[in-house]
Amino acid sequence: MTSDVAKPARGHSVPGGVPVLEARNLTAGYGEVPVLHGISLRVGAGQIVALLGANGAGKTTLLFAIAGRLPLLSGQVIADGRVTVAPLYRRARDGLGLVTDDRSIFRGLTALDNLRVGRVQASDALELFPELKPRLGVVAGLLSGGEQQMLTLARALARRPKVLLIDELSLGLAPQIVQRLLGRLSEAATQSGTAVLLVEQHIRKALEVADYGYILSRGRIAIEGDAMNLRGRMSEIESSYLSSGSS
Ligand code: ATP
């Protein structure tokens, strides 16, 4: 597959044998009703791991459970080799970034003030996305969807998180913008060693930048493998989408 962001599969071996982020046999849901069943996954430093699956398969629920925003019913989340039960704000303090699918910007503040509120230097954000420079004084709600996502991603990456969980970066955006965002994410993961767990609706685009992928179906991992391997199994992946959905 040709792409200006595709990177060769580096496999899923984790340097030193210890993943930055791991879920072991995780079960979680809402109230007592499980949505996720026995999920195990690993993300290493500098890796992008794609989390794919049909609507309702449980991707957002899994990100929230891993982030500490949703309690586990059973299983473990392991950060830097240690089991964690800390709430989201403590995991964030320890280097976890969470980008939700609602473009978490303050729409009434300028782009620059959004960076300030996030304690991010404008120069760091502009290093990531120089095209934001003439837009810093614009109220974020008036930025284009793509610019809003650049702002969101710049703010998250400029904090140099150890782990970044991203939900649907590309929702409703033009293909070129999606390419730009994912390309930058890939460079940043490689350069800063950030471990990225990326929920994405664009299966092909996600697998172009990812090292490894998990496909969820009805709250279970149905398929997993190196991204290069998964790129050759598109019909199998698409079939799993057709038979998936809510549990
Ligand atoms: P999408 O791609 O549409 O965002 P998803 O794969 O992220 O879907 P989730 O949003 O995690 O899926 O939803 C998984 C299941 O959990 C669905 O059956 C959904 O209805 C249910 N669910 C999600 N949020 C809640 C909630 N707050 N309370 C109860 N059930 C919920």
pLDDT digit string, tens, across residues 20-36: 999 999 999 998 899 99
* Ligand 1 interacting residues, C-beta cut-off 6 A: 30, 35, 53, 55-61, 246
CA distance 217 to 58: 8
- Neighbour count for residue 38 (Cβ, 10 Å): 15
The pLDDT of residue 190 is above 50 = yes
Name beta bridge partners: 98.
165
- What does the pLDDT read at residue 32? 85
Q: What is the CA radius of gyration of the chain?
A: 17
- What does the pLDDT read at residue 11? 46
Q: What are 59-107's pLDDT values in tens digits?
A: 999 999 999 999 999 999 999 888 998 888 888 888 999 998 776 789 9
Spacing, Cα 246 to ligand 1 middle (Å): 7
Q: What is the mean pLDDT of the chain?
A: 89
Instruction: Return all residues near 149 (Cβ < 8 A) that are at least 6 apart.
Output: 103, 169, 170, 173, 177, 181
Eight-state DSSP code of residue 202: -
Whole-prediction pTM? 0.91
For residue 57, the ligand 1 atom closest to its alpha carbon is 6
Spacing, Cα 219 to ligand 1 middle (Å): 10
Type of residue numbered 201:
Q
Is residue 169 very low, low, confident or very high in pLDDT (cuts 50, 70, 90)? confident
